[in-house]
Structure 1
Amino acid sequence: MDATHRGPDPLPEIRHVEMSEIPDVLRLGLRDFLRAPLFGLFFSAVYVAGGLILWSVYGVAGQQWWLAPVSVGFPLLGPFAAVGLYEVSRRIERGQPLDWRAILGVVFAQKDRQIPAIAAVIIVVFLFWVFVAHALFALFMGLRAFGPAQDMVSLFLEGNGPVMLLVGSVVGAGFAGVLFATTVVGLPLLLEKEIDFVTAMIHSTRTALANPGVMLVWGGVIAVFLFLAMLPLFMGLFVALPVLGHATWHMYRRALAD
C-alpha cells in the first residue's frame, strides 16, 4: 500500500484451508457488511444498474436470448466491485476509520498500480465468453429470427436447446473456474502488496491448487449466491456482492499467511 516501496513485497506463504472455514468467512463477510452497509450498497449499485441496463437494452432490441449468456458471464465482472469492499474489511480488521474519502482514495489510487491490468484480463475473459456463447448458439440453434420473450423458455428447452445449455454451462464453468482461481486471492493480494499482476495471478492459482476441495466449494458457493441474487431483477446483488466481497477478503486471510 505504501508508494515508497523500492521493490516487490515477498509473497505470503500458502496455508491449508479447512472446509469448516467457509461458514466462518461468510459470517465475517455478513458482519462487515452490516457494520458498514452503505459502502456495500454503493459498490454494488454499479452492477445492479448495469444488469438493469442490459435487461432493458436486450428487451427493447428483441434479443432476449442474449440475457442467458450475459447473465451467466455477468458475475465474472464481480471482482471490479471487490476492491472497495476489500479495503473496508481491511480497515475493520485493523481498527482504522471508515470514511469515504480514505476508502475511495485507496480505490482511486489503484489506477497507478497493478489492479487495472488484472481488470483488463477480466474484461477480455468476459468478452471472449460472450463471443463463445454466441458461437455455441449459432452452432446448435442456427442463424434465425427469434420470437417474443415468452418464447424464450421453449427456445432453450426444445430441440437442441437442452444440449446447448449443457455444453454452454460446461464451457462457462471452465471460464469461471480459470478466472476464479487467478483472482480469488490475487485481487486482495494486489490491494495489500506491491507485486505485479502476473505474479499475483500465479500465486492465486497455486493457492487454489493447494486447497482444491475448499476452493471448489467456495467457488460454487459464490456462483450459487450470485445466480440467486440476479433472479429478482439483479436486486439481490445489493446484498450478495458485498457479503461475498467481504467474505473473500477473509478467505484471503485464511489462505495466505501475513
Structure 2
Amino acid sequence: MDSLETATGETQARRIRIRRITGAEIGTALRRGFSDYLAHLPYGLFFGAIYAAGGMFIVAALSIYHMPWLIIPVAIGFPLIGPFIAVGLYEVSRRREKGLPITWSAILAEVFRQRERQLSWMAFVVLFIFWVWIYQVRLLFALFLGYKAPAELDALVHVILTTSQGLSFLGVGTIVGAVIATILFSVTVVAMPLLLDHDVDFVTAMITSIRAVTENPVAMLGFGVIVGASAILALVPLFLGLLVVLPVLGHATWHLYRAVIEIS
C-alpha cells in the first residue's frame, strides 16, 4: 500500500510544473489579495475574526494559568496555523477567479468538505510543527532563564530585554523560530491551496510546495518575510490587526499559488 501511494504521489508530482516567478508576481498576488478582501469583505472579516478570537482566547487562558512566558511565543506562533484556517479564503478567491457564485453556504460547505480530503492530514502536519515551536521555546526558556522566570508578563519582558540570559534566550529563540517558521512556510504555502484545488495526496502537495520555494527562493521567501512581519505587526492591537492582515494574506496566497503552479 505504501509503495502504491508513493508511486501515485510521484505520478502526480510529474504532472505539476513549477513556474519561475519574481517580485513582480508577489506584488501582483498581494494586490489581488487585497482586491478579493475588499470585494468580499464579510468573508474576510469572518475568517479574520476566527484568528483574532483564537489568539485572544489563548492569551487569556495562559494568563489565567499563570504561564506568561508562553504568551509571546504562542502569540507569534499562532498565525503559523493560518494556512489551515484560510481554506475558506482560498475558496472565495477561487470562485471569484472562475466567476462562480460566492455564497456562505458554498464557502462553508467547501470548508467542511475538506475533513474528508487530504487537507485534514495537513492539519496534523501544521499542528505538529506548531507544537515543536512551543516545545523548543519551553526548552530554551528552561536553559537560559530557569528560576528567573517572573509571574507577570511585563516583568518577564523586562528580564528578557535587560539581562544577558534573557538576551541570549531572545537571540537563540529568534534563530530557531525563524528556522521552524521557514520549514512550515515551505511545506504549506503552496500545499494548502493545491489540496483545495486538485485531488492530490498531501505528501505530493508538500513536496510541490517545497519545490516551489527552492526553485524560487528569493521571491517565495520574500513573500514569507512579508507574511511573518505583517502577522507579527497585526498582533499589537490585541490581535485585531488579524481581521485585515491574515485575510488579505490568505487571498494573496491563493493568487501566488496560481502564479507559481501549473498542472497539466
| Interval of TM-score (by shorter of Structure 1 and Structure 2) | over 0.9
User: Which residue matches 1:15?
Assistant: 19
Counting only pairs closer than 5 Å after superposition, residues 1-258 of structure 1 correspond to structure 2 as 10=12, 11-157=15-161, 158-258=163-263
- Structure 2 CA distance for aligned equivalents of residues 137 and 87 of structure 1: 40
3-state DSSP of counterpart to 2:42: helix
TM-align CA RMSD: 1.5
The alpha-carbon deviation at position 146 of structure 1 amounts to 1.6
- Structure 1 CA distance for aligned equivalents of residues 149 and 211 of structure 2: 45
Contact 2:149 2:156 in 1 (8 A): no
The alpha-carbon deviation at position 174 of structure 1 amounts to 0.8
Larger relative helix fraction: 2
Taking every aligned residue pair, what percent have the same amino acid on both sides?
45
* Deviation readout 1:172-227 (Å, 9 max, x if unpaired): 11111011111111111100111100011001101110000001110000001100
- Structure 2 CA distance for aligned equivalents of residues 207 and 141 of structure 1: 39
- Structure 2 CA distance for aligned equivalents of residues 232 and 93 of structure 1: 32
Contact 2:26 2:223 in 1 (8 A): yes
| One-letter code aligned to 1:67 | I
User: How many residues matched?
Assistant: 252
The alpha-carbon deviation at position 12 of structure 1 amounts to 2.6
3-state DSSP of counterpart to 2:178: helix
Contact 2:51 2:79 in 1 (8 A): no
User: Which residue matches 2:4?
Assistant: none
Contact 2:189 2:209 in 1 (8 A): yes
Contact 1:115 1:197 in 2 (8 A): yes
The alpha-carbon deviation at position 145 of structure 1 amounts to 5.0
- Structure 2 CA distance for aligned equivalents of residues 150 and 108 of structure 1: 40
* Deviation readout 1:6-38 (Å, 9 max, x if unpaired): x88843311000112222111100000001111
Question: Unaligned regions of 5+ residues in structure 2, if any?
Answer: 1-7
Q: Which range moved further: 39-48 or 173-182?
A: 39-48
- Structure 2 CA distance for aligned equivalents of residues 49 and 72 of structure 1: 15
Contact 1:72 1:172 in 2 (8 A): no
Question: Unaligned regions of 5+ residues in structure 1, if any?
Answer: 1-6
The alpha-carbon deviation at position 59 of structure 1 amounts to 2.1
3-state DSSP of counterpart to 2:135: helix
- Structure 1 CA distance for aligned equivalents of residues 195 and 165 of structure 2: 43
The alpha-carbon deviation at position 101 of structure 1 amounts to 0.8
The two structures have a TM-score, normalised by structure 2, of: 0.91
- Structure 2 CA distance for aligned equivalents of residues 73 and 147 of structure 1: 21
The alpha-carbon deviation at position 144 of structure 1 amounts to 4.8
